[in-house]
Amino acid sequence: MKKSDISIEYITHLFEKPSEFQKYIILLSVGLFSTLSFAPIYFFPSYIVAFPVLLIFSVKSESSQKAFLYGYIFGFAHFFGGLYWIGNSFAVEESIPDGLGYFMVAFLNLYLSVFPGIVSCGLKLIHKNHDLTKHLFNIILSFSILWSMSEWLRGYLFTGFPWNLSGYILGFSDIMLQSTAVWGIFTLGFIVLLLTFIPFLMLEVRYRIIAPFLGVAAVMGLYFYGSERLSGETEYVEGVNLRIVQANIKQQDKWPYQNWGKNLVTYMNLSESENKNGTTHIIWPESAVIYSLSEEPSRRQLISKVLGKGGTIFTGFPRRERSGGKTKLYNSLIVINEDGENVATYDKSHLVPFGEYIPAFIRALFIPLGLDKLFSGGQDFLEGEGPKTLNIVGLPPVGVLICYEVIFPGQITDPLDRPDWLLNITNDAWYGDSSGPRQHLLQTRVRAIEEGLPIVRSAGTGISALIDPYGRILDQVQLNTQGIISSELPEKILTSTIYSVYKEWIFTFMIFILILLNLILFKKRSTLRR
């Protein structure tokens, strides 16, 4: 075979040879392979290989229904490989078989895989009568638009789950992430998809000059913008000295009643260890204290003993609210001052389905079978009011995010009372030494860039960090390690980022323009061929 024989036509001919079953195996394989592009591996070539395969199978499918099936199969492996770590959370429950966790990941994928299925189906409907070779660029552009829109929808529908978006595969570089301050992670994801298809586009002779030129231009544009944005030094808030505590308590040792007191002592000892002179504010992670601190002033008094004059401590705890013989349960944060007083409280508003509550339709389905306890340990947590800015004496205004609330682009600050910094308390001990905690940290960094706000992150374990408003990690405590971070609080960026002002309107406008561009290019090409 001559080098010149390697073309789109030749490649697509190869993919017509496998049987239907073999196609399913190929799609499962490349779907799984694609997840190597995400944290912590960042093997970008896996995207370059996987997505053209899905595009070819979708366009060459017999029908839109078959295209949906191809996308669904690809998506199932794509999400399973990216979210396998969720299954680890079931291993900490002795009463639940370890393998059941991976069954639950597959159950989640039954829903998530619909999005790639819709992309493939939509691509087939749009280009069902179009030759892949003749309309290659239009088809690639359509696929990139559809996939980007599916990621955006996935971030909002049914409470949303925008995990492992395409833009995150650039997470190996602070520089390459900086453009999210302008247009957010969804738009960066679209650019990543176009870059993914550059080698595929180059298989056609007419694109072998323009395609690499556009690819290099896009990469250099992202690089130079990011480099310029990172040219400054991090500034700090005067008089604010933080101590971020990571106690590294195993999930199995956290909830048994006999361990509550011992674990509290561990946090207090870490808060007082070494030289705490000058520490003004102490940060403990999500549900660090299991006692209902809003109801127990004596316990708050005990905790306040680790504070210096004028100091405060932030800690996660399960807040109980009793009225009329009923108890409401919230995943909350409390701020305690030096006198043991409850200065402020925040209730988590974006809860984890199946982890913190069971959706009503699932509850109706599983309770008669006695399976509801597989999803949550008993009583559901209730939602808080939404993003909230706390005004604490001695601190700039702070927005609180508990656990995975930080993964939702454009939904993490109070639009009527914008904070000067963000506090993310979490507990990734559920997921062990897996990609999950590392992916969670990456998404936290991107939120800092988008909003132009520093983020202070305290984890039960995995991974506590101090992040500046450019997404740079200034200090961290590694996964499965006990430790503290003592530092001043980074300053916010003085001028609001474009993204923080316009949010996803930028992405929406871009998609509208791209659809128009695709139509114009298609009509122009069709006219030239007459």
How many Å apart are CA 372 and CA 364, to the nearest integer? 9
Out of 66, 348, 388, 492, the active site residue is: 348
Instruction: Note whether 474 and 490 are within 8 A (CB).
Output: yes
Amino acid identity of residue 470, one-letter, is Y
- Residue holding tokens 């947590």? 381
Phi–psi pair at 75, nearest 5 degrees = -60, -35
For 242-282, give the DSSP string: EEEEE----GGGTSSGGGHHHHHHHHHHHHHSS--TT--EE
How many Å apart are CA 83 and CA 70, to the nearest integer? 20
For 41-96, give the DSSP string: T--THHHHHHHHHHHHHHHTSSSHHHHHHHHHHHHHHHHHHHHGGGGGGGGG-TTS
Pairing of strands 281-283, 236-246: parallel
Instruction: Note whether 351 and 376 are within 8 A (CB).
Output: no
Beta bridge partners of 389: 399
Written as six digits, the tokens of 500 are 């923080």
Phi–psi pair at 232, nearest 5 degrees = -85, 165
By C-alpha distance, which of 32, 38, 12, 18 is closest to 73?
32
How many Å apart are CA 201 and CA 330, to the nearest integer? 51
Count of other CB atoms within 10 angstroms of residue 35:
23
121 is an active site residue: no
Out of 23, 254, 356, 403, the active site residue is: 403
Residues in contact with 300: Cβ distance below 8 Å, sequence separation at least 6, in sequence order: 293, 334, 336, 340, 341, 342
Pairing of strands 473-477, 464-467: antiparallel
Out of 23, 254, 286, 492, the active site residue is: 286
348 is an active site residue: yes
3-state secondary structure 377-435: CCCCCCCCCCCCEECCCCCCCEEEEEHHHHHCCCCCCCCCCCCCEEEEEECCHHHCCCH
Distances (CA, A) of 362 to 108, 112, 314, 358, 359: 12, 16, 34, 6, 5
Amino acid identity of residue 43, one-letter, is F
286 is an active site residue: yes
How many Å apart are CA 462 and CA 423, to the nearest integer? 15
Amino acid identity of residue 51, one-letter, is F
195: left (phi over 0), alpha (psi -120 to 50) or beta: alpha
By C-alpha distance, which of 133, 144, 140 is closest to 206?
133
The catalytic residues are 286, 348, 403
